[in-house]
């Protein structure tokens, strides 16, 4: 089947020539990666160390058949099914301050989608100091709050943060696929805007 982009030719060409990183392939990162693939990004660098388990199926882009598979392998299969021409580079391991700049060295934009606050801070710092990429991060998408509370903010010249900035996953509010996907849409859209030269949230 021929795939024809609905985007203007110059926009489609710019996105198809772009390379974007996605760090963490859970509820946030898997949805971000799918949105970027469907938007025509030519190359994705995806990184995670984990395997798919049954609990992931509630809010992540995996299927029952993926349980037990590496997240990098399962998501690569999904992305390739969505867009056969996409180029996918995989880092199957735990990111740290030493290896992250090398993993994402050629990316124009990296979407930070890790779970733990200390890991998020580590990745943002290592990328801002060790690469020339712009980072789109996320903070706060738990619970059942209004979708309108999810916003994108520019925090530094090369750092954007999406979310409500408050809510954290816990036994109380928990995480729902719908609100996580709203935030993932913000992350993916900001990445696309940056690639197209738009630096305002």
Whole-number Å distance between alpha carbons of 26 and 34: 12
Cα–Cα distances (Å) from 183 to 119, 140, 146, in that order, read: 19, 8, 12
pLDDT, tens only, 114-167: 999 999 999 999 999 999 999 999 998 888 889 999 999 999 999 999 999 886
Q: What is the pLDDT of residue 57?
A: 94
Contacting residues for 146 by C-beta, under 8 A, at least 6 apart: none
Q: What is the pLDDT of residue 88?
A: 98
Considering the entire predicted model, what is its pTM? 0.95
Domain ranges across the chain: 9-195
Please check the confidence at residue 52 and state whether its pLDDT lies above 50: yes
Q: With contact defined as beta carbons under 8 Å apart, do 122 and 79 qualify?
A: no
* pLDDT grade for 1, boundaries at 50, 70 and 90: very low
Q: Which two tokens stand for residue 138?
A: 């996320």
* pLDDT grade for 173, boundaries at 50, 70 and 90: low
**Topology of domain 9-195, CATH:** Rossmann fold (3.40.50)
Q: Which two tokens stand for residue 99?
A: 């290896």
Contacting residues for 168 by C-beta, under 8 A, at least 6 apart: 140, 142
Q: With contact defined as beta carbons under 8 Å apart, do 151 and 166 qualify?
A: no
What is the four-CA torsion angle of 32, 36, 38, 41, rounded to 10 degrees?
-160
User: End-to-end alpha-carbon separation of the chain, Å?
Assistant: 35
Whole-number Å distance between alpha carbons of 155 and 138: 12
Please check the confidence at residue 79 and state whether its pLDDT lies above 60: yes
Q: What is the pLDDT of residue 142?
A: 85
Whole-number Å distance between alpha carbons of 192 and 184: 12
More confident residue, 3 or 175: 175
Which of 57-61, 97-101, 141-145 has the weakest average pLDDT? 141-145
pLDDT, tens only, 64-74: 999 999 999 99
More confident residue, 3 or 30: 30
């Amino acid at each position: 089947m021929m795939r024809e982009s609905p985007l203007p030719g110059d926009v489609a060409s710019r996105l198809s020539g772009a390379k974007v990183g996605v760090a963490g392939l859970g509820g946030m990162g898997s949805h971000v990666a799918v949105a970027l693939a469907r938007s025509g990004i030519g190359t994705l660098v995806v990184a995670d160390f984990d395997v798919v388990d049954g609990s992931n199926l509630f809010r992540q882009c995996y299927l029952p058949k993926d349980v037990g598979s590496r997240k990098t392998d399962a998501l690569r299969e999904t992305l390739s099914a969505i867009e056969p021409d996409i180029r996918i580079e995989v880092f199957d391991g735990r990111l740290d301050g030493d290896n992250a700049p090398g993993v994402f060295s050629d990316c124009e934009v990296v979407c930070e989608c890790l779970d733990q606050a200390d890991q998020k801070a580590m990745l943002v710092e290592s990328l801002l100091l060790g690469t020339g990429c712009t980072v789109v991060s996320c903070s706060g998408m738990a619970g059942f709050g209004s979708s309108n509370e999810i916003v994108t903010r520019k925090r530094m010249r090369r750092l954007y943060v999406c979310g409500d900035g408050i809510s954290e996953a816990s036994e109380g509010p928990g995480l729902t696929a719908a609100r996580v996907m709203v935030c993932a849409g913000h992350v993916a859209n900001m990445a696309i805007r940056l690639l197209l030269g738009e630096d305002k949230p």
